[in-house]
Amino acid sequence: MQASGATTDDSNVATARDGTKIVYRVVKGTGQGRCALVHSLAMDGSFWDRVVPYLKEAGDVLVYDCRGHGRSGKPKGSQPIERHADDLADLLDTIGWQQAVVAGASMGGCISLAFAARYPDRVSGLGLIDTTAWYGPNAPQQWEERGQKGAREGMAALVPFQLDRWVSEAFRKQHPDVVEHAVAVFLASDPEAYLETCRMLGAADLRVLPPFAFPTRIVVGAEDYATPVAMAEATRDLIPGATLTVLDKVRHLTPLEAPDLVAAQLNALLSARH
C-alpha cells in the first residue's frame, strides 16, 4: 500500500490491499508517541478534531475516513469488520508505523478491537470508547432496520434519533456548532455504504479474543443509551487488566462531548511503559 498524492487540504490518499482509497492525515506532535484514531458510524476523521489538540504533546496522531465514509472509497457489497481492520494495518504500513496506540469510538471501537485481535503485535495500547464487543442476539435485525431506514427514507430521517443518543441536551445548547458539524457529516453519508456498515456492526462478535499484552482503557458515558455501561463492563471483563472509566452526564459520543477526559485516557496509554 502506498500513498498516492494529496487531497485539497492536508489529507493524503492511500490505497488499501483491495484497491479501496482511504483518506487520512497525520497530525504531528512534539512527543514520541503514536496514536491512531477510528471514528464512529457515519462520521469521518474530523470526528476527532476536539480530541487531537490534547494529544499533541504526546506525539503524532493518525486520523482517517473509514471505507464507506467521508471521502474514502465506498466499494459495493459486504464490508466485514476484518476488512476495516486490514485497512488500518495498511495505513500504518503507508505512514511507516510498526506500532501505535489504537483507539476508536462506537463503530471505531469495534474496528479497533478487531484490529487488536488480528494484529496484536502492532498495538502498544488500546482505547475502546463508547463501544462494545457484541451488540447482542437481536443486533443483526436491529442494525438491518436502521440501515434500511436510511436507504429508504434518506439519512435525514435518522437525525432526530441520533441526536438524542449522541450528546446531552445541555451540550447541544452550549455547543451548537459541534452538533451542526456532526449532523452535516452524517447527512453527507452514502446511504448504501451506511447500510453495509450497519450490517457489519450487526454481525460483529468480538467476544473471543487472544491474550492482550498491552494496556487497555475503556471509556463510556454514564448516559450512553447506544452502548450502555453494562456493555462496557462486559467488554472490560473480556480483557484481563482493562480499566473502565464512566463519564458522568455524558452520552454516546464522548469524544465530542468530553474531549479532554477522553484524551486523558489516551494520554495515559501513550505514556504507558510495558
Question: Distance between CA 231 and CA 139 in Å, rounded?
Answer: 13
Please check the confidence at residue 253 and state whether its pLDDT lies above 80.
yes
Q: What is the mean pLDDT of the chain?
A: 95
Residue 272: the pLDDT is 85
The pTM assigned to this predicted structure is 0.96
| % of the chain surpassing 70 pLDDT | 96
- pLDDT tens for residues 57-109? 999 999 999 999 999 999 999 999 999 999 999 999 999 999 999 999 999 99
Cβ count near 172 (within 10 Å): 16
Question: Distance between CA 99 and CA 88 in Å, rounded?
Answer: 11
- Residue 116: phi and psi, rounded to 5, are -65, -35
Please check the confidence at residue 1 and state whether its pLDDT lies above 80.
no
Q: What is the DSSP letter of 131?
A: -
For the chain, which domains are there?
Answer: 3-135+206-271 (3.40.50.1820)
Question: Distance between CA 132 and CA 128 in Å, rounded?
Answer: 8
Residue 99: the pLDDT is 98
